[in-house]
Amino acid sequence: MSEKKQDWDMEAIVLEAVNRLPGGFAIFGPNHEILMSNDQNARDFAVTNQALREGCSWLEATRRGVDAVIPDLTPEQSIEIAEGIVSALGRGEHVELKTAHGTIMQVVEIPLSFGGFVGVGADVTALRERERELRKARKEAEAANEAKSAFLANISHEIRTPLNGILGMAQLMAASDLTPEQRDQLDTILDSGKTLMAILNDVLDLSKIEAGKFDISPIDNDLGHLLRRLEKLWSPRAMEKGLTLKLDIDPESATFLRFDPVRVRQCVSNLVSNAIKFTDKGGVTVSASASPLEDGAYDVNIRVADTGIGMDGSTAAKLFAPFTQADASTSRRFGGTGLGLSISRKLAQLMGGDVTVESEAGKGSVFTLTFQAAAGRRADEAPANADVDKTGGVRWAKGLSALLVDDHALNRKVARLFLEPLGISIVEAENGEEAIRWLQTQPFDLVLLDMHMPVMDGSETLRHIREHGDLAIRNVPVIALTADSLGPNNGRYRELGADGYVGKPIDHRELIIEIGRVLEDRYGQVPAPRAAFPDLRRAGS
């Protein structure tokens, strides 16, 4: 049985097919004369197609199409856009063109063997609208995040101000005659205050780290002393649970190193706190060692082992995720933010190390903190600008004058009590405007400038100082004092014009060292003291 031959009208079939395509379609000759066009292309680029049928060049037809969509262009702008479209299509690139009825078509031209071209367009209007909505949502999210960051910075500043008073006064008491029992109690106050700072920083630090705005601030410090202080801090809590807390520092290891003691204390406190929390019997052992590296640095290893509940592999795998604890029952039983380990790992990584865990359910856990540190220089090895006399005073400080600018009376009181016993004459101002008036009234060796103040804040005050017409005012050394804990850091304050930076709560020793460093950097040596000023406490007229 023979098959019946079917006669097909291929031209009609092809025309119907191209008209049913979801986008534009056109075949052009070598000079872009239109050989075939579907209905979509005819609607989208009616002006351009009409110009081509009238014999216009490809460039002129494209220019007319541009004018039809964007009528307010100058002739120069119109031809420039048209030349860009023609050039891009000639290179085989995809070009997005807006049509007269508002859609966005992504167009490409492909050369054909006879010298002509096939043009294909796809409607991407919905896709671009979705992208626009996503950009808008992202901007809104970024604005909300900035508002959150500003709020957190505000809260941080407000909490740190009274904490600065607590820790500042405790440091001053530490310099007085105390019984061993009182000194031990005061050490606990100091360490507890620093631990409170770590708790405050947990949420703030996570935001700052993930925003890439975190600043590690290494200073010369004794790791062994830091760990012994932490042992004293956590021993009462361990004893309450009937646990032992043992500290084992390798006697062969160097412990006076250059590292960030605040961050190391924060990491170790998190690990020890967790070890005690999840241990009901037995104890916790903290082991520390520092191994020299080839470049003169040290690889520090702090191991916190407990005999607690332990965990299985799946639990350990998710342990360092933010806001995550071992499981829901652990969260209900033990509490906590679930941020400590995540932040500790991120901090360790910023310091060139890591936090890892080895654990088995029912058999305890071992957390290991590693970080890199440089060789430290002890106080008795410090340069002349930190010279100390037999009575414990700093010799270079006697007779120097400082302008102390801070809107909080408690902060000014703490700084004054830190510096006046050293022989530094202090004049106070509550804001930047008062500070500028004082600088125009008499010379100062140094300005201690809070960065968050009403009327005129620290950044604006720095700008006025560095742009002042009086050379002596313009060149006065400035140390930024701030409780800001999110975005700003030492580098940023230097960009603003500060010579140094001390964070709040202020550490007495850190403040003195920074003053000496700034004065020596600015003058090559600590300047000779100026004549004593009148005891004027506040900026008046």
pLDDT score at 391: 35
Cβ atoms of 217 and 262 within 8 Å: the answer is yes
CA 335 to chain centre: 28
- Three-state SS for 112-125 is CCCCCEEEEEEECH
pLDDT score at 22: 86
Average pLDDT in the 73-79 region? 93
Q: Does residue 19 have a pLDDT over 90?
A: no
Lowest-confidence pick of 185-199, 226-240, 242-256, 475-489: 475-489
CA distance 400 to 538: 18
**Banded model confidence at residue 289, pLDDT cuts 50, 70, 90:** very high
pLDDT score at 384: 39
pLDDT of 86-136, one tens digit each? 999 999 999 999 998 889 999 999 999 999 999 999 999 999 999 999 999
CB atoms within 10 A of CB 484: 22
Most confident of 291-300, 393-402, 482-491, 513-522: 291-300
Regarding predicted confidence, which is higher, 50 or 502? 50
Strands 219-222, 244-249: pairing is unpaired
**Banded model confidence at residue 492, pLDDT cuts 50, 70, 90:** confident
CA 55 to chain centre: 61
CA distance 193 to 210: 26
Question: Taking all residues of the chain, what is their mean pLDDT, rounded to a whole number?
Answer: 81
Q: Does residue 366 have a pLDDT over 70?
A: yes
Contact partners, residue 420, CB within 8 Å, separation at least 6: 426
Q: What are phi and psi of 358, to 5 degrees?
A: -125, 125
Amino acid (one-letter) located at 361: A
Average pLDDT in the 175-183 region? 82
Q: Does residue 223 have a pLDDT over 80?
A: yes
Cβ atoms of 121 and 23 within 8 Å: the answer is yes
- Three-state SS for 409-452 is HHHHHHHHHHHHHHCCEEEEECCHHHHHHHHHHCCCCEEEEECC
Cβ atoms of 387 and 395 within 8 Å: the answer is yes
CA distance 330 to 68: 67
pLDDT of 64-75, one tens digit each? 999 999 999 999
C-alpha distances in Å from residue 68, one per residue of 71, 128, 332, 385: 6, 21, 67, 75
pLDDT of 310-337, one tens digit each? 888 777 777 776 555 554 444 444 444 4
Closest-CA residue to 226 (of 139, 288, 168, 180): 288
**Banded model confidence at residue 206, pLDDT cuts 50, 70, 90:** low
Closest-CA residue to 108 (of 123, 98, 94): 94
**Banded model confidence at residue 211, pLDDT cuts 50, 70, 90:** low
